[in-house]
Amino acid sequence: MKTIIKITFLALVTSFMFACGSSQKENPVVQMETYKKQVSELNKKIEDIEKEFNTPSQETYTGIKVPVLTQVLQPELFSHYFEAAGELETIDEAFISPEVNGQVVHISVKEGQMVKKGQILARLNTVVIEKNMQELDSQLSLAETIYKKQSALWEKNIGSERQFLEAKNNYENLQIKLATLKAQYNMSIIVSPISGVVETIVLKEGEMASPGMQFMRIVNIDELFLTAQLSEAYLPVVKKGEEVTITFPTYPGIKMSKPIHRTGNVINKENRTFEVQVKLDNPTGVLKPNMLANIEINDYNNEQALVVPSILIRNDMKGSYIYLADKKDGETVARKQYVTIGRSFKDKTEVVDGLSEGDIYITDGYSNVSDGAVVKVMN
């Protein structure tokens, strides 16, 4: 009713001001005095109307008791969590590229196949390298024989030192060349650096491969990172090792609790966030890289909180309130109690002021009562 009165008052004042505004040539001092007089008259009318609607006859008990349910307020643990969205990332992932140029002559695996670390994935053309290795093997065998004979003669002081040193140098140089060719040969055999699944194969047999060009992609999804970006305002409450709750929109039935693995040390200047990572075990492979996930992080706990269902808290122009059940003249009546609320989480809200332990608050039927209404508490 007071809201209606105030709206009416503002409408009247606005209409008076608009009417008076049409007379632009009137003295401002006279205008101000006129407005003050109008406001005084309106305030007097408002007081008369308020007295009329606040007369005791309006609150006369009719004998009808409003049925309600109640509950005794007791301290309990209240925890608040905030939510953030993140994505899953692979911990072990390899983009395979050859170390030397060459034509792909054989691919040993298929997409989707499980491979182990060190397993051969593909081979490049090594015909030229193999022929050079055969030639060097023959030269090395001859050089080794000459070197051994020159060494034996030199030990007996037969022959010149120059012959001995030339034989030794030739033998050692051929060993180095052969080792180089073997290294090139090994680099032409592409092996997996990690254990995982062959996700993609870019090249086909017969195509040319070169260093820096992606050939395959192998991922290991046995372990994944959940990475989320949090506002820097949460820096004081987010610590490494704290347990968080993780859910997945794709799989509503999966819910897990894991410790925070790492918190970022740099604030992103563009959006004022820092990075948080949680390591997840994924033995069944049901979780996939880049999948969306929700993370709940605890940022507040009160072991002796006074908590009420959030739906019970109502609001008017004075603030937030709930209805208590009090005794008055032998009857149970509803009493409007204004409160100061704290944090809310899901369907509960902490009340930080206005209530005390042992207060009886109305849980059902609160929408049918008013301040001072007689109620009947049902079992």
CATH class of 61-80+304-377: mainly beta
For the beta sheet containing 208-209, the strands, ordered from the edge strand earlier in sequence to the opposite edge, are 189-191, 120-124, 102-107, 208-209
Whole-model pTM: value is: 0.60
pLDDT at position 56: 42
Query: How many angstroms separate the CA atoms of 139 and 65, rounded?
Result: 114
pLDDT digits (tens, 9 = 90+) for 286-332: 999 999 999 999 989 999 999 999 999 999 889 999 999 999 888 89
**Residue boundaries of the structural domains of the chain:** 2-53, 61-80+304-377, 86-91+220-296, 92-209
Q: Which fold has domain 92-209?
A: OB fold (Dihydrolipoamide Acetyltransferase, E2P) (2.40.50)
Average pLDDT rounded to a whole number, residues 209-226: 92
Pairing of strands 375-377, 66-72: parallel
Task: With H, G, I as helix, E, B as strand and everything else as coil, classify residue 75.
Answer: coil
| Cβ atoms 136, 178 nearer than 8 A | yes
Q: Which of 275, 213, 323, 357 is nearest to 84 (CA)?
A: 275
Q: How far apart are CA 165 and CA 146, in angstroms?
A: 11
Q: Which of 97, 84, 322 is nearest to 218 (CA)?
A: 97
CATH code for the domain defined by 86-91+220-296: 2.40.30.170
pLDDT at 63: 65
Convert the pLDDT of each residue in 331-357 to its tens digit. 899 999 999 999 999 899 999 999 999
Tens of pLDDT, residues 356-367: 999 999 999 988
What is the average pLDDT across 117-132?
Answer: 88
Q: What are the beta bridge partners of residue 82?
A: 297
Cβ neighbours for 60, distance < 8 A, ≥ 6 positions apart = none
